[in-house]
């Protein structure tokens, strides 16, 4: 059994869209989970539907949504304090040292992050890379295992089949509970899920297909370093 799991993603909602099923699996086993959220998604384009946020109010609203999602997932939340869409321009070593410091404090047995270069959003790639760097700086005998999540269309072709698969296809409703907390960002999938048109049923099916399986590669330090 894991001792403590730390999820490190850059945006409020990455934890729900990307790993809600994995997180609840660990919580059901009684494993503590902490979410280190890199930014407040300050640069998000979605402003709610109908629009209820603007560029200046969005961070506060997304923080509230994130706190709510973490309550639903029953996990601790720590904010890293970077700004959305700027992580790749920060000094990578400095971000890695920052993350390493937090990890040493929490002392997890497992860290979940994005797979660098295969996670589409520049913040995903950069924070994933800094996280892998941070764990790489730790003592090889005692450092946590890293699970890396890829998102790009081509990842399976290049990287092969992921090592871990948490399948939420049959209990996706459970995952939706966390996603729904992100009202400002998730209006599309919320409409698809609770709508009653043929179009929304198609969208719902596509969403389950896309988000139903949470898959991770176990980071192979000797091989990838």
Partner 1 sequence: MKPIEMEKVQELLNGFKNKQVYLHLETTNGAYANHNNKNAYTVGAYIRNTSVLFTQAKIIGMENVYRVGLKMEKGWIYAEGLTDWTIHEGSKLLLAGHDREGRLMVSLQISETPFDY
Catalog residues that contact Zn ion under the rule CB under 5 A: 11, 14
Which among 90-98, 151-159, 165-173, 214-222 is the span making contact with partner 1, rule CB under 8 A? 151-159
Residue 16: contacted member of partner 1, Zn ion, none (CB under 5 to 8 Å, by partner type): none
* 113, burial (CB in 10 Å: exposed 0-12, middle 13-18, buried 19+): buried
CB 141 → Zn ion: shortest distance, Å? Answer: 32
Between strands 33-37 and 76-79, the pairing is parallel
CA distance 136 to 132: 6
Which residue carries 């939340």 as its tokens? 77
- Among 121, 143, 175, 215, contact with partner 1 (rule: CB under 8 A): 121
Q: Which neighbouring-strand residues pair with 76?
A: 34
**Does 188 participate in binding partner 1 (rule CB under 8 A)?**
yes
Strand order in the sheet with 110-114: 76-79, 33-37, 5-9, 110-114, 145-149, 213-218, 164-167
**Does 120 participate in binding partner 1 (rule CB under 8 A)?**
yes
CA distance 32 to 2: 9
**Does 196 participate in binding partner 1 (rule CB under 8 A)?**
no
User: In the range 77-96, which residues lie near partner 1 by CB under 8 A?
Assistant: 83, 85
Measured from the CB atom, the residue of 27 and 83 that comes closer to partner 1 is 83
Measured from the CB atom, the residue of 85 and 143 that comes closer to partner 1 is 85
**Does 46 participate in binding partner 1 (rule CB under 8 A)?**
yes
Measured from the CB atom, the residue of 125 and 143 that comes closer to Zn ion is 125
CA distance 176 to 181: 9
CB 82 → partner 1: shortest distance, Å? Answer: 10
Which residue carries 């959220």 as its tokens? 37
In the complex, which residues of this chain contact partner 1 (CB under 8 A)?
43, 45-51, 54-57, 59, 83, 85, 120-123, 151-153, 187-188
């Amino acid at each position: 059994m894991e001792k403590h799991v730390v999820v490190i993603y850059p945006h409020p909602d990455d934890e729900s869209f990307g790993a809600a099923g994995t997180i609840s699996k660990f919580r059901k086993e009684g494993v503590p989970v902490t979410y280190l959220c890199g930014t407040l998604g300050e640069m998000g384009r979605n402003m709610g539907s109908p629009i209820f946020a603007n560029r200046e109010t969005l961070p506060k609203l997304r923080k509230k949504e994130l706190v709510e999602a973490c309550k639903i997932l029953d996990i601790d939340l720590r904010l890293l304090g970077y700004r959305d869409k700027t992580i790749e321009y920060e000094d990578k070593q400095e971000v890695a040292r920052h993350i390493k410091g937090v990890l040493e404090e929490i002392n997890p047995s497992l860290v979940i992050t994005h797979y660098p270069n295969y996670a589409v959003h520049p913040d995903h790639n950069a924070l994933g890379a800094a996280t892998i760097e941070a764990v790489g700086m730790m003592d090889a005998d005692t450092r946590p295992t890293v699970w890396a999540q890829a998102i790009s269309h081509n990842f399976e072709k290049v990287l092969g089949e992921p090592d871990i698969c948490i399948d939420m296809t049959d209990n996706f409703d459970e995952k939706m509970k966390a996603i729904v907390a992100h009202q400002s960002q998730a209006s599309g999938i919320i409409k698809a899920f609770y709508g009653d048109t043929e179009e929304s049923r198609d969208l719902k099916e596509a969403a389950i297909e896309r988000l139903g399986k949470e898959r991770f590669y176990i980071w192979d330090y000797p091989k990838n370093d």
